[in-house]
Amino acid sequence: MIKMIALDLDNTLLNSNKEISQRNEHVLKQLHQEGIKVVLCTGRPINAIWPYIEQLGLTDSDDYTITFNGGLVINNESREHLFELGMKKSDLLPLFSYVKRKKIPLNVLDFERVYELNDYPGSIYRTVLKNIEFQSLPMSDMPEKTYSKAVMAITPEKLSTIIGELPANLKAQYHAVQSQPMIMEFLPKKLNKAVGLKALLDHFGDDFSNLMTFGDADNDLEMIKAAAQGIVMENGLPNVKAVATAITDTNDNDGVARYCERYFATLL
């Protein structure tokens, strides 16, 4: 029995204008009112997606969000951390060495802000991520604390070349995923959205047999595979579609609502 619906945002729940359509909003609000947990799953911090949370009415005391691609499970009302998994500064040193050698701009996030490393300017992350503090500093001044991820945010053309040449030691050190055409994320090795979702399901006494997920990209792959109902958008990547329970319509054609209307027909 499905008790929780977990949704990626970009190119999944959001249309090309970065909006939740009226149809998607209406269906998810109805399901939430029927007692099904609606959980947004994103690489961003909660402040950056708060307008979407408010739009869907996910502000009850038992509403949670999966942020930082599974690295933080946070209560929407209290902002209490249910689960978190990050990296030490020392864990980032192999990546720092690589970007210094290649002169690639890099951003590093803790659970509250973005450190915009100014050793090699050119990151476009400020244009992508809103409603969060950015602090500019050199790599050598990075404080000793827990970090959620590191991000390369550059033009798709440049990023494509970097991904094709990514050294084996970095692939072994991190869970490296491309979340958008212009964004490559470096996460703790064993971290993905399914890890955060497992912590949340455990909290409610449920498991993956009670979960439906919607996604489109590489950073959604694990939660699509783990869920009893792993749904991929028609605009999703071929390798993600390959592990889906079903394919729904595109993000610009209310694919989330269309699938839910059929699956939960007796509730809607």
pLDDT band for position 175 (cuts 50, 70, 90): very high
What is the pLDDT, as a whole number, of residue 49? Answer: 95
- Residue 81 pLDDT > 90: yes
Structure tokens that stand for 229 in this block: 């109902």
Helices marked H in the chain: 22-33, 50-56, 93-102, 125-128, 156-164, 168-173, 193-203, 221-226, 238-241, 255-263
Mean pLDDT, residues 142-162: 94
pLDDT digits (tens, 9 = 90+) for 33-54: 999 999 999 999 999 999 999 9
Give Cα separations from 191 to 26, 57, 67, 173, 188 (angstroms).
Answer: 32, 28, 12, 12, 5
Which CATH number is 4-84+192-263's, of 3.40.50.720, 3.40.50.300, 3.30.390.50, 3.40.50.1000? 3.40.50.1000
Percent of the chain residues past pLDDT 70, beyond the cut = 100
- Residue 129 pLDDT > 90: no
- Residue 85 pLDDT > 90: yes
pLDDT band for position 156 (cuts 50, 70, 90): very high
pLDDT digits (tens, 9 = 90+) for 177-223: 898 899 999 999 999 999 999 999 999 999 999 999 999 999 999 99
Whether 259 and 31 have beta carbons less than 8 Å apart is answered as: no
**Topology match between the domains 4-84+192-263 and 89-188:** no
What is the pLDDT, as a whole number, of residue 70? Answer: 96
Spatial distance between the Cα atoms of 25 and 22, rounded to a whole number of angstroms: 5
What is the pLDDT, as a whole number, of residue 210? Answer: 98
What is the pLDDT, as a whole number, of residue 131? Answer: 84
Cβ contacts of residue 40 below 8 Å, gap of 6+? 6, 7, 9, 13, 49, 52, 53, 56, 58, 65, 66
**Reported pTM:** 0.89
State the chain's mean pLDDT as an integer.
96
**C-alpha dihedral, 142 to 66 to 45 to 83, nearest 10°:** -40
At residue 124, φ and ψ (nearest 5 deg) are: -105, 20
Cβ contacts of residue 221 below 8 Å, gap of 6+? 192, 215, 239, 240, 243
- CATH code: domain 89-188 is 3.30.1240.10
Closest CA to 116 of 97, 133, 137: 137
Domain ranges, ordered by start, for the chain: 4-84+192-263, 89-188
- Residue 56 pLDDT > 90: yes
- Cα end-to-end distance, the chain, whole Å: 16
What is the CB neighbour count within 10 angstroms for residue 144? 7
What is the pLDDT, as a whole number, of residue 179? Answer: 87
Spatial distance between the Cα atoms of 211 and 213, rounded to a whole number of angstroms: 7
Task: Sort residue 63 into left (φ over 0), alpha (ψ -120 to 50) or beta.
Answer: beta
